[in-house]
Structure 1
């Protein structure tokens, strides 16, 4: 049998080495070879994946299968997601915790954050259900993960504890951040792409993945005013998928005008940098607001032009395509760079620059402000694009005075 054809089949104990030595197509659309020491198919992500440190967390006879499971996961998940999983597994290995040992689960839960433990469980469940692999975790182990009570310590909840680095921003902090962003943008110190990302986070409080889905045609002028279209994330069943289920919210006219001016600039640059690659007058509506760019090593990072130089750019004439959109690591780097800029707002609570690069801080802020404005749980869930009220009830337990100006502004922006 042809070795290439056999290598593409589901691996067995005898063919696993051959399978791991065969290039695979990652979700980002680029190839990687699982046997290589580092995986870095998505060059817009600054960190490569170190799978070797990760597989050390399981017994030696399981390591090659964990290696293969991570490679399979790479085919359908973003590089940043796999990087987070390998980081968790690597740290587990450092302290001698085995995710295949049910007697280690409590220690794993206590050692990692609730989000990290959830990511670990999701990967283990994927591995167990990956029928292409001969050696997989048992269903009993997955059931043990599933039934283990999650770590819910109210005193550690960033919202209820008013955590000054991860919890909701105070009104003074929001005002200072808004003023700083406006001034930096007006003076040309803040890139329009970064400015828009921060403004949309502050106004709508959605997840970063939802903002990264956006294209220029998601900003709409209607007879009744201006609207923004935001797509759901983290849905299951029929609503799962990329840009499948949209919701519309009110949009400020000034912000709409900024986006349209920025759209004109990007359209002009696309025509200059990629002439003839697409009908950019037709494609511009499907061009991402936040675009993927390629990074190169050597003498620091060199940022390629306005969008990644993928061969299928003309496909944007018909519809948006995920591979052209910015990655999580890219947008997080934008926020980290903002935190280190001169004159960045200082928190009166920590006497350090505000933290805006981690977690769902703007989401927590919006939920808290809407609760303080007197909205019920369903209205808050609607604004945060939750399918139910289970995860917004904690906002109703938290009361903090906010200014009438902030309440009026938030309600006008969303409803």
Structure 2
């Protein structure tokens, strides 16, 4: 039977409405589409196995939620409700005309302890539906929801267990990501935008939607009392149910990022000169095409930024020392890492909530309960075993020293005077720039390091391990483990040199 079009005189007609963020939509349509800075949201009533009478009441409830809540919340409720209705249709084999307590009890019976929050999160929506007086939820269902306590979504499990796939990164994993990003950018393998986006994510732990809302005007500079310059980034707040870009958190920029970030900003402004009326409103991370209009014209969506981060880091093939596999990357893991590291440094819930821009401390407490997974004791055997997995060494190993860059330049020698050996030269620096970092330790994680296959790397490894043990006796694990990434890089060179020398011996004997 063909549906009757809803006119202004129709019993089930609903006036044209506007969402909280100002998007106009027609509630009488079967499919509602909303575009915001995060992504395209769809609420499709045509796929729900419900009667026309209940559909009218349901649309009325969704109109109220869209007028009073951010779009993401009613969309989440739609997804939870769709699962409930799908279960009821399959169980009873007819379109639902009213949701009863029996329906809810049977549905709850299909949910395990980890997913009971599905119904718990939907409970408020269903109670609001009944309270507004529209058909769809029975009185006994309303009473059941009021009298029943549902298990909530288990918060913080990934953090508390240091989950290797969804929890915070270990110090070693994070250092390997940082080294891989730096080397990849230095070699021209990733773009400036990719480099800056991932570094800002690592430094601030902001959500993708916050990066999606950023504009070039959010990078600020000014003079402070001692006449020095201060550089700030304004990060839009997104969890306060207010209009996008109505509130910001101002954060100091790390000095190492200032020049490259402001150069990048100036290039973005040049790109949008003549495209936007006000180039200060140019997106900091622009989309290649104009998918949106208005305030967020040319802005990427948060989903696009999430995909971008995952794609870039995935291409670097960074391995986790815990799993032996490529590190599983999500923006949330960087955020959890910042909270965990703040707790390890002794900060309390209030400070952690401020760092992560939480509106309260209810989710910050989980970080103070976390004991980071630190390798308390690393001996030579452990270092040599973990080193090939950790992949901390970024340079190359030469058996023929004449093939190295700057082979005839004595100033490029990497030397450790503390090593008592016939030769204390560990290799060559293949870069003509002055990095200003501490050699030889910083060299092992640098892509410009050219290590000799016959150098005393093993002696350096033993020295580093001895110093680590000494620090453990007089300080804490966090300070003692500061050079762990370098230890694994040196150990990796030792292992690879052993393999090279073993192959050479085999070839000679054959």
Structure 1 contact 290–325 (Cα < 8 Å) conserved? yes
Residue among 354, 358, 383 paired with 2:327: 354
Pair 1:374-2:365 in alignment: no
Three-state SS of the structure 2 residue aligned to 1:350 is coil
| Displacement after TM superposition at 1:168 (Å) | 0.9
Structure 1 contact 44–330 (Cα < 8 Å) conserved? no
Q: 1 CA distance for matches of 2:134 and 2:322?
A: 53
| Displacement after TM superposition at 1:51 (Å) | 1.6
Pair 1:222-2:222 in alignment: yes
1:399 aligned partner: 371
Structure 2 contact 16–27 (Cα < 8 Å) conserved? yes
CA RMSD of aligned residues (A): 4.3
Pair 1:328-2:302 in alignment: yes
Residue among 315, 318, 322 paired with 1:342: 315
Three-state SS of the structure 1 residue aligned to 2:346 is coil
| Displacement after TM superposition at 1:167 (Å) | 0.9
Judging changes above 3 Å, is the alpha-carbon distance between structure 1 residues 60 and 110 closer, same or farther for their aligned structure 2 residues?
farther
Pair 1:51-2:34 in alignment: no
- List alignment gaps of at least 5 residues for structure 1: 294-302, 313-320, 408-415
For 1:107-128, what per-residue CA distance to the aligned partner results, in whole angstroms no more than 9, with x for missing partners? 5874775876675356546656
Pair 1:150-2:124 in alignment: no
Judging changes above 3 Å, is the alpha-carbon distance between structure 1 residues 157 and 324 closer, same or farther for their aligned structure 2 residues?
same
User: Normalised by the size of structure 2, how large is the TM-score?
Assistant: 0.57
For 1:93-143, what per-residue CA distance to the aligned partner results, in whole angstroms no more than 9, with x for missing partners? 3433899444437458747758766753565466567x6x84465798399
Three-state SS of the structure 2 residue aligned to 1:353 is coil
Higher relative contact order at CA 8 Å, sep ≥6: structure 1 or structure 2? 1
Structure 1 contact 380–392 (Cα < 8 Å) conserved? yes
88-97 or 35-44: bigger deviation: 35-44
Larger-gyration structure (1/2)? 2
Equivalent residues in 2 for 1:117-156, closer than 5 Å = 120-121=122-123, 123-124=125-126, 127=129, 134-135=134-135, 137=137, 141=142, 144=145, 148-151=149-152
1:250 aligned partner: 252
Residue among 382, 386, 397 paired with 2:358: 386
User: Normalised by the size of structure 1, how large is the TM-score?
Assistant: 0.68
1:288 aligned partner: 283
Structure 2 contact 45–55 (Cα < 8 Å) conserved? no
| Displacement after TM superposition at 1:365 (Å) | 1.2
Q: 1 CA distance for matches of 2:124 and 2:215?
A: 29
1:63 aligned partner: 55
Structure 1 contact 228–249 (Cα < 8 Å) conserved? yes
Structure 1 contact 55–90 (Cα < 8 Å) conserved? yes
Structure 1 contact 31–41 (Cα < 8 Å) conserved? no
Judging changes above 3 Å, is the alpha-carbon distance between structure 1 residues 356 and 126 closer, same or farther for their aligned structure 2 residues?
farther
Residue among 237, 253, 256 paired with 1:232: 237
| Displacement after TM superposition at 1:169 (Å) | 1.1
Three-state SS of the structure 2 residue aligned to 1:398 is coil
2:171 aligned partner: 171
Structure 2 contact 114–153 (Cα < 8 Å) conserved? no
- List alignment gaps of at least 5 residues for structure 2: 90-95, 225-229, 375-476, 483-510
Structure 1 contact 377–389 (Cα < 8 Å) conserved? yes
Three-state SS of the structure 2 residue aligned to 1:93 is helix
1:89 aligned partner: 81
Q: 1 CA distance for matches of 2:143 and 2:298?
A: 35
| Displacement after TM superposition at 1:151 (Å) | 3.2
Structure 1 contact 177–345 (Cα < 8 Å) conserved? yes
1:269 aligned partner: 271
Q: 1 CA distance for matches of 2:348 and 2:284?
A: 32
Judging changes above 3 Å, is the alpha-carbon distance between structure 1 residues 220 and 151 closer, same or farther for their aligned structure 2 residues?
same
| Displacement after TM superposition at 1:215 (Å) | 2.4
261-270 or 96-105: bigger deviation: 96-105
Structure 2 contact 37–299 (Cα < 8 Å) conserved? no
1:363 aligned partner: 335
| Displacement after TM superposition at 1:170 (Å) | 1.0
Q: 1 CA distance for matches of 2:147 and 2:302?
A: 27
